[in-house]
Structure 1
Amino acid sequence: MKKLPIGISSLEKLRRENCYYVDKTHFVEKLVNKGNQFFLSRPRRFGKSLFVDTLKQAFLGNKQLFEGLYLENNWDWSKKYPVIHIDFGGRNIKDITILKKWIIEQLKEHLNFYSIEIEEEEDYGFLFRSIILKLYQEYKNPVVVLVDEYDKPILDNIENTEKAIEIREILKDFYSVLKASDQYLKFVFLTGVSRFSKVSIFSGLNQLQDITLSPTFATICGYTQSELETVFKDRLEGVNLEELKYWYNGYNWLGEKVYNPFDVLLFLSEKIFRPYWFETGTPTFLMKLILNNKVFLPKLEEIKANDEILANLDVDFLKIENLLFQTGYLTIRETKKLGLRTIYILTYPNFEVKSSFNNFFLSDILPSVSDKEDAQNSIVEAIEENDLEKIKTALHSFFASIPNDWYRKNDLDSYEGFYASVVYALFTGSGLNTKAEDTTNIGKIDLTVFYQDRAYIVEFKVVEKEAEKRALNQIKEKKYYEKYIGSYKEIYLVGIEFSKEKRNIVYFEYEKVESL
C-alpha cells in the first residue's frame, strides 16, 4: 500500500503555532459512527472550512496533529484513507466555463498530491470518477470526499437567475458522480452556506444526511459559552462576559447557543466591540429583496417558518426568510408544535447582527452616509437627554434627506411599512435597545425603546395627506403602557403619523404616563 502524503493544512498551522483551538474532534467520531454521507449548512466564517480540514487530517492518519485532542485516543490511526478535497471558496465563479475549469484544476491537483497517473481527461465528471477509482485501486481503501463551500458558485450569481441555474446544473452533474461511485467511497461530507433542495442539487444522493438542524451536531461549528470561558480563560481577564454574550452569542441550530468564532477571535485580539463578522460581507442582495418584497423590517424580530421554508432553497424559488436564516442574519429563537408540524420562531441572533443589519438598510436607501450618521447621533443624544422634540426634528430631517427619485425607483407608494421600517432601523441601528411588535394582552406595540429606567412606547400610522391624530390615542385607548408599569420609572407614549403625499412626518405627539 502506498504511503499517504501529509498536506499542509489549517489545522496543522494552528497546532504548529500553538494557536487557540476549540476541540471539536469528538464530532468526527460521532459522524463516522452515525453514517457515511453528510451535509452541513452554516453561515460564512463559522469554522466550516477548519472542520472540513479536521476531517481530512483524521482520515489521512495525521495523528501528530491531534495530540491532546479528543480524537487522539478515540480514532483508529492504523487505517488511512485517500481524501479528495474540493473547495469552491477560493474563486469567484462568474460563468460555467470558469466553473468547469476550476473543478478540473482542483481534481488534477490530486494527481500530483497522490503521485498517480490517469489518461488525459478534460471532462470534469469523467475525471472525478477516474480519480476515485484510481485512488481506490492504488491505496486498497475506500475514498473520502470532502466538498467545502459547495454552493458558492451559485451564490456568486444569485442575482442572475439564468446564470445561477446554469451553474446549478453543472454542480448537479458533478455531484451525481458520488452516487455512481458509492461502492468506492468511505465517507462524504459537503458543507456550505445554503441548503439547496436535494432535488435541485443532490438528485440521487438518497443517503445524504442533512445535519444542519440536528441537535446532536448543533455546536459542531461555533463556540459554546463553556468552550469560550475554558479555552480562552487567560484572554478574558477584564472582559465583561455579559456584554460579550450580548454582542456575539445567540446562534441556534436546535441545541446550545453558540458564538461566531470570527467575532470572538477578533474581539480578543482587539478588545474592542465591533461588528467584525458583519463587516466582512455586505448583504446588498438581501436588501434588494427586502425592498422588492416590501418587507416590514420590524417583522424580522419574529418570523414564523416551517420545515419546508427552512429546508428548501432554490434559485428560482427564493424566500427571504430562508436566505436570512441560512446566511446568519436570523437564527432560531424557539420552536413550537402545531399538531404534527414544527414551527420555528426566527429572530436576530445578537446585538451585532440586529444593529448592523438595520444600519445597512439605512445606508442602502440614502446616498449620503453623513445624513444617516447625523440622524442617529441626534436620536441617541435625544434619548440620553430625554428630549423628544429633538427626536421629532431628527426624524423629520432624515426623511427630508431621502431623494424623491429614490422613492420612484423603488415603487414605495405601495410599501405601507416603509416609514415605520425606517424609524425602527434608525433606533435599532443606533445601538439602542429596541423591541418591535411588542405583544401585550390586547395587541401589539409597534416599537418600544428602552433606555436605563425609561421606556418609550411608539405607535406608527400612515395617512394619505394630513394628520389624523390617531396614533397616540390608540396607545392610550389600548393601554399598551400597562405592560411596563412597575418595571420602568418613566414611560412615554409617542404617536407618529406619516403622509404618503408629503413623504414625511405630519404628526408627532407624546406624553408621559402618570405614575400609578
Structure 2
Amino acid sequence: MKKLPIGISSLEKLRKENCYYVDKTHFVEKLVNKGNQFFLSRPRRFGKSLFVDTLKQAFLGNKQLFEGLYLENNWDWSVKYPVIHIDFGGGTVKDPQDLKNWIIKQLKRHMLTYNISVEDTDNVRFMFTDTIYSLYQEYKNPVVVLVDEYDKPILDNIENDNIENTEKAIEIREVLKDFYSILKASDQYLKLVFITGVSRFSKISIFSGLNQLNDITLDTEFATICGYTQSELETVFKDRLEGVNLEELKYWYNGYNWLGEKVYNPFDVLLFFDKKDFRPYWFETGTPTFLMKLILNNKVFLPKLEEIKANDEILANLDVDFLKIENLFFQTGYLTIRETKKLGLRTIYILTYPNFEVKSSFNNFFLSDILPSVSDKEDAQNSIVEAIEENDLEKIKTALYSFFASIPNDWYRRNDLDSYEGFYASVVYALFTGSGLDTKAEDTTNTGKIDLTVFYQDRAYIIEFKVVEKDSEGKALSQIKEKKYYEKYTSNCREIYLVGIEFSKEKRNIVYFEYEKLNIR
C-alpha cells in the first residue's frame, strides 16, 4: 500500500503553537463504534471544522498530533485510510455551474495529493465515483469522506422574498443531492462518512439516497461534540480564569443545549480570554439580516422568541421551499433548547435565547434594522438605562416617545405595519432588552401573562402594552391591578412599579403612559 500524504492541518497548527485544545477525540472513537455514516448540524463558529480536521488526521494516522489526548492510546494507528475532504466554507457559490466547478476543483486537488488519475469530466457525479474507487484500489483500504459546510451553497442563495434567488437555491440543492447520492452507491468502498453544516435540510430533499445516515444533531451522546462544557472550561483554561467572574462568563456565553449538558460558544470564550472584555464576539461575526426580514414579513411578536414551542418535524425538516422561523433560529444558534416536554407520543421542544450575548445583541440589531440613525437608538437606550438606574419613569416615557417619533413614515409603509399588531410592544421589548437590562417577556402568572417585566437590583417594573386605533382607552394599568400580576414578585422585590403603555396605530406613538408604585406591606 502506498504511503498516505500528510498535509498541514488546523489541528497540527494548534498543537505546534501550544494553543489550547479541548480534547474531543473520544468522540472520534465513539463515532467509529456507532456506525459509518453521520450528519451533524451546529451553528457557525462552533468548532465543526476543527472536529472534521481531527477526524481527518486520525484516519490519516498522524499519531504525533494526538500526543496526550484520549485517542493516542485508544486508536489503531497501524491502519491508515485515504480521506476525501470536501469543504464548501470558502467563498460564495453564485449558481449551479459555479458549484460544479468548485466540487471538480476540490476533487482534482485530491487527485494531485494522492497521485491518482481519474478521467477529466465535467460530470460531478462520475468524477466523485471514480475518485472514491481509485483511492480504494490504490491504497487497499476503504475511503473516509468528510464534508464540511455542506449546506453553505444553498444558504448563500436563500432569500424568502426573492423568487429568483429561491429558484437558484433549488437548482443548487439538486446539484448537491446528485453529488451526495454517490455516497450510497459507493458504500462498499467507504469506511466513514461525516457531513456537517449549519442547517438540517430534510433527508428527502438532499440526502434521499443515504438511508443509513445517522443524524446526531440531537443525540444526547454527542450533545457536547462541539462547544465547551463548564468542566472543560474550568480545567483546560484554568490558568486564564484568575480574576474572571465565572457566573458572568456563563451568563454571557454559556447556554447552548442539544439535549445534553449546556456548552459555551468556543469562539466567544477564546476571544474573551484574548481581549479580557465581555463583548458579543460571536454575534458580531455575522449579521442576521435574513432573519430580520422573516420577522417583519411574518409579523413575528419579538417577545415570543423567549419561548417558542417546536416539534421534531419543524426542527428536522428545513428546506428551500419550507422555511420555518423556529427551525432557522434554532439551527443558526439564535435560539437553543431550554427544555423538552412529552405530549402523548410527541416531543415538544421549548426554545429560547441561549445567553445574554445573543438575547441583547439580537434585539439591538432589530432596532438598528428599523431605525436608520444609530445615534437615535443609542440615545434612547442610554436614556432608558439611566432612567432605570435613577428610577425616573418620566424619563423612560420621554425616551420611548422620542424613539417612536424618529422612525421614518416610509419605513412603516414599506413594511406594512398596519397589520403588525405586535410591532409596538416588540420595539419596547427590544429597547429594554437590547440595552442590557434584565428582562422577561410573556411572564406567566396564575391569572395571565405579564407583557414585560424589567428587573433592576431589588426593583421590578411590570409593564402592560395595549394597541389602540387612535386615542387612549386607559386600560393598560388597570389590567395589571385587576389581574394582580404583581403578586408574583411581592416576596422577592423591595419595590414594584406598575406601568401601563398604550400605542396609537393612527398616531404611531405612545398616547398613554401611566405608572404607580405598589405599596408592599
> Percent of aligned positions with the same letter in both sequences?
88
Mapping of 1:87-102 within 5 angstroms?
Answer: 87-102=87-102
CA drift at 1:403? 0.4
1:186 matches 2:191: yes
1:226 matches 2:231: yes
Q: Once the two structures are superposed, what CA deviation does each residue of 1:130-185 show, in whole Å capped at 9, x if it has no partner?
A: 11000000000000000000000000001121111010000001001111111110
1:200 is paired with a residue whose SS is helix
Q: Once the two structures are superposed, what CA deviation does each residue of 1:287-338 show, in whole Å capped at 9, x if it has no partner?
A: 0000000000000000000000001100101000100000000000000001
Q: Is the 8 A contact 2:119 2:127 kept in 1?
A: no
2:434 maps to which residue?
429
Aligned partners of 1:350, 1:438: CA distance in 2, in Å? 18
Mapping of 1:437-516 within 5 angstroms?
Answer: 437-516=442-521
2:54 maps to which residue?
54
2:355 maps to which residue?
350
Counterpart among 333, 340, 347 of residue 345 in structure 2: 340
Aligned partners of 1:119, 1:166: CA distance in 2, in Å? 26
2:126 is paired with a residue whose SS is helix
Q: Is the 8 A contact 2:44 2:198 kept in 1?
A: yes
1:199 is paired with a residue whose SS is helix
Aligned partners of 2:176, 2:375: CA distance in 1, in Å? 44
- 2:264 is aligned with what amino acid? Y
1:144 is paired with a residue whose SS is strand
469-478 or 113-122, larger mean C-alpha shift: 113-122
1:310 matches 2:295: no
1:114 maps to which residue?
114
2:217 is paired with a residue whose SS is coil
Aligned partners of 1:386, 1:236: CA distance in 2, in Å? 35
1:393 is paired with a residue whose SS is helix
Mapping of 1:130-145 within 5 angstroms?
Answer: 130-145=130-145
CA drift at 1:356? 0.2
CA drift at 1:91? 1.7
CA drift at 1:122? 2.2
TM-score where L is the length of structure 2: 0.99
- 2:419 is aligned with what amino acid? S
CA drift at 1:123? 1.4
Aligned partners of 2:317, 2:350: CA distance in 1, in Å? 17
- 1:41 is aligned with what amino acid? S
- 1:440 is aligned with what amino acid? T
- 1:129 is aligned with what amino acid? T
CA drift at 1:196? 0.1
Aligned partners of 1:251, 1:137: CA distance in 2, in Å? 43
1:25 matches 2:30: no
1:407 maps to which residue?
412
Q: Once the two structures are superposed, what CA deviation does each residue of 1:23-79 show, in whole Å capped at 9, x if it has no partner?
A: 000000000000000000000000000000000000000000000000000000011
CA drift at 1:121? 2.1
1:85 maps to which residue?
85
1:384 matches 2:412: no
Q: Once the two structures are superposed, what CA deviation does each residue of 1:254-274 show, in whole Å capped at 9, x if it has no partner?
A: 000000000000000000000
Aligned partners of 1:88, 1:70: CA distance in 2, in Å? 29
Aligned partners of 2:118, 2:297: CA distance in 1, in Å? 51
TM-score where L is the length of structure 1: 1.00
List gaps (5 residues or longer) in structure 1: none
List gaps (5 residues or longer) in structure 2: 160-164
1:8 matches 2:4: no
Aligned partners of 1:251, 1:161: CA distance in 2, in Å? 30
Counterpart among 327, 333, 340 of residue 332 in structure 2: 327
- 1:287 is aligned with what amino acid? M
Counterpart among 239, 245, 254 of residue 250 in structure 2: 245
Q: Is the 8 A contact 2:205 2:319 kept in 1?
A: yes
- 1:185 is aligned with what amino acid? L
CA drift at 1:510? 0.2
27-36 or 110-119, larger mean C-alpha shift: 110-119
Aligned partners of 1:292, 1:453: CA distance in 2, in Å? 39
Aligned partners of 2:519, 2:120: CA distance in 1, in Å? 84
Aligned partners of 2:506, 2:347: CA distance in 1, in Å? 43
2:309 is paired with a residue whose SS is strand
122-131 or 81-90, larger mean C-alpha shift: 122-131
Q: Once the two structures are superposed, what CA deviation does each residue of 1:85-123 show, in whole Å capped at 9, x if it has no partner?
A: 000001211111211110000010001111111222221
Q: Once the two structures are superposed, what CA deviation does each residue of 1:381-420 show, in whole Å capped at 9, x if it has no partner?
A: 0000000000000000000000000000000001000000
Q: Once the two structures are superposed, what CA deviation does each residue of 1:483-510 show, in whole Å capped at 9, x if it has no partner?
A: 0001010000000000000000000000
Aligned partners of 2:481, 2:168: CA distance in 1, in Å? 54
